[in-house]
Amino acid sequence: MLLTIPGVLEAQEAASFRQALESAEWSDGRATAGYLSQRVKDNEQLREDHPLAQKLGTRILDLLERNQTFVSAALPLKIVPPLFNRYQTGKTYGRHIDGGMRPVGPHRVRTDLSATLFLSPPENYDGGELIVEDGASERAFKLKPGDLLLYPATSVHRVAPVTRGERLAGFFWIQSMVRGNEQRALLFQLDNALRLLGRDVPDHPSLVEMMGIYHNLIRQWGES
């Protein structure tokens, strides 16, 4: 499931993120890439322990916890603290797949879902689309500042070369309570349908059973 979640950050807050990131010290993005990805990765990142990355990352996690669409779609169990990257003119990240586990302190987080939080206005740069392969086809994304793209971490993806301007983004991974993409997508569909039924026919007695099915599936498929 590829899902765009608009307005995770308000436009004004996305602008203040950009402003703070402008004056930060950036490092070579290859530091966090695996041996194969290092060959195709050419961007910059804030170090994981950079105080600004920690501050902005914490803010993103706070907002996501309260974002109903994100919680329903991702069913998050653990989230890798967000990182930030910068692609200036000529920078790119070729075809790759994200590592299956990310170390967080002494622990590991399984990367079921990848997320990119777009921060730069699309008109500020050319190129720089996030391109996600989906079987034989591919889809390109260039979202508004503050919008989030959620996509299966199992997908091969790339960032097209930036040919003008600068592209800033936050990115992170989610270990979901429900490992399988298909099961998670079904639960998201069911949750959305239940929400609408709860609004339109809140007194229908079968609603309780339907809700029970949702939660019993979570018990069946979920892990904690």
Window 4 to 43, contacts with Ni ion (CB under 5 A): none
- The piece of 46-54, 97-105, 143-151, 212-220 that touches Ni ion (CB under 5 A) is 97-105
CB 61 within 8 A of CB 79: yes
Are β-strands 162-176 and 76-79 bridged in parallel, bridged antiparallel, or unpaired? antiparallel
Nearer to Ni ion, 51 or 103 (CB): 103
- The piece of 55-63, 66-74, 92-100, 161-169 that touches Ni ion (CB under 5 A) is 92-100
When asked if residue 98 is in the footprint of Ni ion (CB under 5 A), the reply is: yes
Q: Count of residues binding Ni ion (CB under 5 A)?
A: 1
Nearer to Ni ion, 108 or 207 (CB): 108
- The piece of 91-99, 127-135, 187-195, 207-215 that touches Ni ion (CB under 5 A) is 91-99
CA–CA gap between residue 206 and residue 100 (Å, rounded) = 40
Query: What residues make contact with Ni ion under the rule CB under 5 A?
Result: 98
